[in-house]
Copies of this chain bind each other. A is one copy, B any other.
Amino acid sequence: MTAYDNLMAFQRDTEALAQIAGRLSWDQETMMPRGAADQRSDERAAMEAVLHQRRTDPRIGDWLAQVGQPEDPVAAAQVRHIRRSYERAARVPEKLASDIARLVSRAHVVWAEARADDDFAAFAPVLKEVVALRRAEGEALADGGDTYDALLDDYEPGAKAADLVEMFGALRPRLVALREAVLSKPPMPGLTGSFDEQGQMNLSRLLAKTFGYDMARGRVDKAVHPFSSGSGDDVRITTRTVPLEPFNCLYSTIHEVGHASYEQNIDPAYRLTPLGGGVSMGVHESQSRIFENQLGRSRAFCGWLYGQMRDTFGPDIGVSTEEDFYRAVNRVQNGYIRTEADELQYNLHVLLRFDLERALISGDLAVDDLETAWNDRFEADFGFAVDRPAHGVLQDVHWSAGLFGYFPTYSLGNVYAGCLYAALRKAVPDLDEGLARGDTSAATGWLRENLQRHGGLYSPRAVIERAAGQAPSEGPLLDYLEEKFSGLYGL
């Protein structure tokens, strides 16, 4: 066995164990008996300890030293991933890592209570601790470089906040302007009627297959939060049902199928290796968003979906033409909550968080001033005031979990989706003809071939650039949104 063989054999087992840990999370959200929570914490902690030990195993360092820089591009990419992950793990003192794990576990509980009580002051003390420890971790990882960038790198390898500031700076004013123009127009129709749970789940499974999800290597279950879990041949998704809001279920499903297809479509040769998963959160989100929005909320696809809705729930769903159904799907409304935001406003929610969390990590913004800063920024972008903390600064789980640097990947994913969609339309001029028949194969096949199959082979930016044919920028997303919503609202 060469050092490379040893390294990869060891890594394969680690990846396999990481898949098991992921399945355990899936089980917890879908199948676990409610009385098993405490025992499950112990089980997960034991598994995390095994994974941490393997990821910092000094033999990895020895093998890496012997391997050097392989010439084969696949081997080089494998080694690049392993080296990056090993070096990052080695930079964080073990005590700091375990302090953070314990702290965020506590912070999550405090946050959930504070949100229920609409009481930011109850969350602030523990959030200060989380900010302090994650800042310390960022400094350790940055090794003299930018602290926030070091945290961002966990979710979007290679991304720099300064680039995102520029990109999002170009995004924000045009989104605010578009939002204002749209909301000055009469509102779109909405659905009414009853949408039984079984019908929603049946239609979810149909949509999953329609978007190319391989049910023989996955499954769809219900959970409180929709998510996708796993890589390779076992990629499971969840969705949720809300009685009066079938779009919640259906578009959550399409979104998660975007994530899941990416994992399912990676070259099988990369299974249980560092190349065998999606390359970054941003690229992952580009897949979920292009499935959900550019394809799933397109006029052509909505025409097909309208027929499916009527077949499933009967003719009385509150709209009676394909065009009105398309307008209902794409209705823009005021709202406080990021996860419920429409395609137009979603990125404004994200940009707000990105700016605030950078200020928290740099120390320019104190946790005690966070609620006011949130409310001021929200009113500036959305034109109305936050009514309560649960609808504002306390709405998202991320900061309580220490996930600083995660939010911007949502908008980066949308920007990437915009670039990919522009290239897809050029490559497949008759895209809408298929979508209008409920046939997504031209689009999903193009994404598989040009992006998904590569897994972690290229860097996030590089894989987008290869597929889109140009360096990623916010322009295509803005052009798409302005064209779509101008048409919808007659601007």
By the criterion CB–CB under 8 Å, are A23 and B27 in contact?
yes
By the criterion CB–CB under 8 Å, are B272 and A33 in contact?
no
Q: What's the dominant secondary structure at chain A's contact region? A: helix
Q: How far is the CB of A473 from chain B (nearest CB, A)?
A: 38
Task: Report the nearest B residue to A20, measured CB to CB.
Answer: B43
By the criterion CB–CB under 8 Å, are B20 and A219 in contact?
no
Contact residues in B for A36 (Cβ distance below 8 Å):
217, 232-234
When each residue 269-294 of chain A gets 1 if its CB lies under 8 Å from chain B and 0 otherwise, what string results? Answer: 00110000000000000000000000
Task: Report the nearest B residue to A54, measured CB to CB.
Answer: B50
By the criterion CB–CB under 8 Å, are B233 and A50 in contact?
no
By the criterion CB–CB under 8 Å, are A20 and B13 in contact?
no
- Tell me whether A166 is interfacial, beta carbon within 8 Å: no
Given A38-B233, A272-B39, A272-B42, also A47-B33 (CB < 8 A): no
By the criterion CB–CB under 8 Å, are B33 and A216 in contact?
yes
- Tell me whether A183 is interfacial, beta carbon within 8 Å: no
- Tell me whether A121 is interfacial, beta carbon within 8 Å: no
Task: Report the nearest B residue to A34, measured CB to CB.
Answer: B216
Task: Report the nearest B residue to A231, measured CB to CB.
Answer: B39
By the criterion CB–CB under 8 Å, are B16 and A20 in contact?
no
- Tell me whether A215 is interfacial, beta carbon within 8 Å: yes
Q: How far is the CB of A236 from chain B (nearest CB, A)?
A: 8
Task: Report the nearest B residue to A15, measured CB to CB.
Answer: B46
By the criterion CB–CB under 8 Å, are B216 and A39 in contact?
no
Contact residues in B for A33 (Cβ distance below 8 Å):
215-219, 233-234, 236
- Tell me whether A32 is interfacial, beta carbon within 8 Å: yes
User: Which of A39, A40, A219 lies at the interface centre, i.e. has the most chain B CB atoms within 10 A of its CB?
Assistant: A39
- Tell me whether A427 is interfacial, beta carbon within 8 Å: no
Taking CB atoms and an 8 Å cut-off, the chain A residues in 206-245 that contact chain B are 214-219, 232-234, 236
When each residue 25-39 of chain A gets 1 if its CB lies under 8 Å from chain B and 0 otherwise, what string results? Answer: 001000111111011
By the criterion CB–CB under 8 Å, are A19 and B34 in contact?
no
Point out the residue from B13, B42, B217, B272 that lies within 8 Å of A16, measured CB to CB: B42
Contact residues in B for A19 (Cβ distance below 8 Å):
39, 43
Q: How far is the CA of A43 from the CA of B233 in the complex (A)?
A: 12
Given A31-B219, A36-B217, A271-B39, also A46-B16 (CB < 8 A): yes
Taking CB atoms and an 8 Å cut-off, the chain A residues in 435-490 that contact chain B are none
The 7 closest A-B pairs by CB, nearest first: A16-B46, A36-B234, A35-B216, A35-B217, A13-B46, A39-B233, A16-B43
Task: Mark A residues whose CB is within 8 Å of B.
Answer: 12-14, 16-17, 19-20, 23-24, 27, 31-36, 38-40, 42-43, 45-47, 49-50, 214-219, 232-234, 236, 271-272
17 sample A-B contacts, Cβ–Cβ < 8 Å, listed by A number: A12-B46, A13-B45, A13-B49, A13-B50, A16-B47, A17-B43, A20-B43, A20-B46, A31-B31, A33-B215, A33-B218, A33-B234, A35-B214, A35-B233, A36-B232, A36-B233, A50-B50
